[in-house]
Amino acid sequence: MGENAQMGEGLHEIDDESPEGLYAFLAEREWGDGLPVVAPTEERVGVMLAGLDPDEVLAVLPPRGGSATRRAVAVNAVMAGCPPEVFPVVATAVRALGEQRLNLRGVNATTHPVAPLVIVHGDAVEEMGFNAEVGAFGPGNRANATVGRAVRLVLLHVAGARPGPGDAATQGQPSKYAYCTAENRAADPWEPYHHSVGVDAPSAVTVHCGENPHNFHDMESDDIERILDKAASAMATFGVNNACISGGEWFIGLCPEHAATADAAGWTRDDVSAYLFEHARLPAREFRRQFDLLAWAPWMSDAADDELLPMTEEVGNIRVFVTGGAGKHSCVIPSWGMTRSVTLALEP
């Protein structure tokens, strides 16, 4: 069985590679995510690497400062059950985790239940079999499930983000097992999300560090303002870090029907963001009553008590993408706050 640098050097031979034997081997060393894994044999890891340089360092990941070599990432992708064809998505997501602006050290060290969400864009969605339609955040699809799980295993084994010493989340959240979805390009009335943030490539990967999706729904209306008022109500709460950290982003996952309603009204993606910026607001005095410490932009700190303040300091922090299938349910995904999303072109 192959091991990465944080799980021991070289190879480790075990007598029993049954699911039960491998589970016991990992549990004894506090490896794994608590679920059964696929044995990362030399052969399986070799297929995942597909002849690429196994010693290439994709990122250095805190808090441990572990080197995420391509081999180490491949080991964890095998353990997660990834088919080899989705490995480029895992590798690209790991590169994104290493970007300084994402602030992985803070993401792992905080008591907030933050998890990196992986969003797949472009041709890779269909070519690699990602689910961008009904149940796009849920179970039942191998690509979504195993890519999300592989990223978490890399965080556990390479970054050292184990609950307690490396991941201080007070309660955690289910998305810390696997958190991966895809953009529904076929149902998106606007340009691909990654093009909107300046990544001109056939396929791309976004990593946004935030909470689980917060659902909102409108089953009846063809009025985009009425629909987005519900989104604004889900955003305007003191229970998220965005309330006290104004630099945090929001990701808005619109379902195809809500996106189509916006498009039919002549609204662009930016119009949706602008509406939510203006309508997801609370009085400044209530923020001050709820928090002793506010990491706010100066203009917000200077606001009068009766001024209605937005849930983020600038409209560009509200990022809209389309995902899911039939049924008029959409979601808002709050940020941890002190992190920025990263979108990278998909590479091997």
- What is the spatial order of strands in the sheet that 214-217 belongs to? 214-217, 329-334, 250-254, 318-322
- In this prediction, residue 309 carries a pLDDT of 98
* pLDDT classification of 14: cutoffs 50, 70, 90: confident
Residue with token string 């607001």: 281
Quote the number of domains for the chain: 1
Q: How far is CA 198 from CA 33, 192, 259, 284, in A?
A: 35, 10, 21, 34
Q: Is the pLDDT of residue 9 over 60?
A: no
Does pLDDT of 8 surpass 50? no
pLDDT 10s digits, 215-238: 999 999 999 999 999 999 999 999
The residue segments making up the domain with residue 183 are 5-345
Give pLDDT tens digits for 87-131.
999 999 999 999 999 999 999 999 999 999 999 999 999 999 999
Statement: residue 301 has pLDDT above 90:
yes
Residue 7 banded pLDDT, cuts 50, 70, 90: low
DSSP state string for 35-100: S------HHHHHHHHTTS-TT-EEEEETTTTEEEEHHHHHHHHHHHT--GGGHHHHHHHHHHHT-G
> Token pair for residue 260?
């189509």
Q: Is the pLDDT of residue 277 over 60?
A: yes
Determine the Cα–Cα distance for residues 95 and 100; give it in Å rounded to an integer: 10
Residue type, 84: P
DSSP category for residue 111:
S
